[in-house]
Chains A and B, each alone.
Chain A
Amino acid sequence: MRKALTVFLMLLVLVAGGYSGYEAQGHVFRSNFVQVVGKRAEFLLYENGQAFNKDFDSQPFYATVTFTHDGRFIASGHSCPASTYNNNYYGSGVGYFKENQPYSFDKETNTVDFSFRPDLADLVVKKNDGGLYGKVRHPLAGTPVRVGQPQIGPATVLLSNTTGADPSFVKAYVVNDGKSDPGRMFTLVFPDEQIIPGNSGSPVVQLQGGQLCLIGAVSTSITGDNGSSSAGRLGGCVGVNMSGYIN
């Protein structure tokens, strides 16, 4: 009887240890922009640079990207400070979401709250003068990537209804390398005809040297340019110099 109890207790200890170890994965993030949420999680969104959204008269356009401390990519997104169609529409397009509207923006706290959306409940996004930030409330799968500069050739836009979960893929082709004026923009051509509204902020990745590289975030929706039946759809895309942000 005593032996059985001992074995049972050891099993409990094993499970407790296993749970602790399992929980340690994906929970603890580290950043130079640290917020402590809950008991032990630290969260981040990097404000990684400033690009310009040509749709809004060269107003500052902040792209953000989220990594775990070990370089796992979680999400990308951007602010939309120069929105002319809705002054409250600050936090546009948190990456990895197929649908990014409508959601509420609190002017007093500068907070965009997705919590009323069950599928987006893992993420709260905060906009301040430095850009768009986020707090991830629950562990996310994330994907290991490194940052890279856009290179001419195939690329992929990741889309998902839930952050970091089972993204779908949109074929794309990088036309220029992001070095042309205004410097941090590059253009994507989509060979398959498609109109995907609300994908702004979605991450764009390329395979470089066999590794996945995050090269930017979509700045507008993927839309047809003139409604013709020909292939080659254009979507604006912001390519942000993110080198050096993972240390």
Chain B
Amino acid sequence: MRNKPVLLAVLAAAVFILGIGGGYFAGWYEHVRLPQASLLEAVKTQYGQTGEMVKQGKVVSAGPDSITMEEAGKTAALPVDSNSVFAVYNLGVKPSGVNCGADAYFKPGDQISAFVKNGRAVVLYRDARAGETQNQ
């Protein structure tokens, strides 16, 4: 019986530590786990939508108003206009609003990535060709 206060103190300390652990876990779950999961889920959902707009393939032909590309054996002609963005890795970007034909940036054989909306090329992107150093 004389040890009862000591036992109570030890029990209280243990309960306090247990509480800290539980509270820490609750805080981690609320502040870390849930935001992470919800944000990841939302971004992945959005990526699914955006990813469907991305096409990868080889240029078959390029003209001022359209580009034709081959992706997985299928050929598609993509119209371009002054709002289309053309980009070449590490060399330059033709921003939206500038009038310039796709044939100034792309030629048959180029591997390109196209961002397509409603059948129109919003963005056309390719790596620099061997020896290509100047901005288009």
Interface residues of A (CB under 8 A from B): 6, 9-10, 13-26, 72, 139-144, 152-154, 156, 158, 164, 167, 169, 171, 173, 175-177, 179-180, 187, 189, 191, 205, 207, 212, 225-226, 228, 230-234
Residue among A26, A72, A234 making CB contact with B85, cutoff 8 Å: A234
Interface centre among B31, B44, B85 (most CB of A within 10 A): B31
| Minimum Cβ distance to chain A for residue B126 (Å) | 10
Q: A16-B19, A154-B54, A207-B44 are in contact. Are A24 and B93 (CB under 8 A)?
A: no
- Chain A residues contacting B8 (CB-CB under 8 Å) are 6
Q: Is the interface of A mostly helix, strand, loop or mixed?
A: mixed
- Chain A residues contacting B115 (CB-CB under 8 Å) are 173, 189, 191
Residues from 58 to 94 in B contacting A, C-beta threshold 8 Å? 81, 83-85, 87, 89-93
Complex contact B118–A231 (CB within 8 A): yes
- Chain A residues contacting B49 (CB-CB under 8 Å) are 171
Interface centre among B44, B81, B122 (most CB of A within 10 A): B122
Complex contact A17–B18 (CB within 8 A): yes
Complex contact A175–B85 (CB within 8 A): yes
With CB as the reference atom, state the residue of chain B lying closest to A191.
B117
- Chain B residues contacting A189 (CB-CB under 8 Å) are 85, 96, 115, 122-123
Q: How far is the CA of A26 from the CA of B113 in the complex (A)?
A: 41
Complex contact B53–A25 (CB within 8 A): no
Residue among B21, B83, B125 making CB contact with A21, cutoff 8 Å: B21
Knowing that A14-B16, A169-B46 are A-B contacts, what are 10 other residue pairs whose CB atoms are under 8 Å apart, sorted by A's residue number? Answer: A10-B15, A13-B19, A17-B16, A21-B24, A140-B31, A156-B47, A169-B43, A176-B125, A177-B90, A189-B85
Count A-B contacts at CB 8 Å: 178
- Chain B residues contacting A9 (CB-CB under 8 Å) are 12
Complex contact B43–A152 (CB within 8 A): no
Complex contact A176–B27 (CB within 8 A): no
Complex contact A232–B117 (CB within 8 A): yes
Q: How far is the CA of A169 from the CA of B53 in the complex (A)?
A: 17
Complex contact A225–B23 (CB within 8 A): no
Q: A142-B35, A232-B122 are in contact. Are A180 and B90 (CB under 8 A)?
A: yes
Interface centre among A140, A142, A230, A232 (most CB of B within 10 A): A232
Complex contact B17–A17 (CB within 8 A): yes
Q: How far is the CA of A140 from the CA of B19 in the complex (A)?
A: 22
Complex contact A141–B19 (CB within 8 A): no
Complex contact B20–A72 (CB within 8 A): no
Complex contact A212–B39 (CB within 8 A): yes
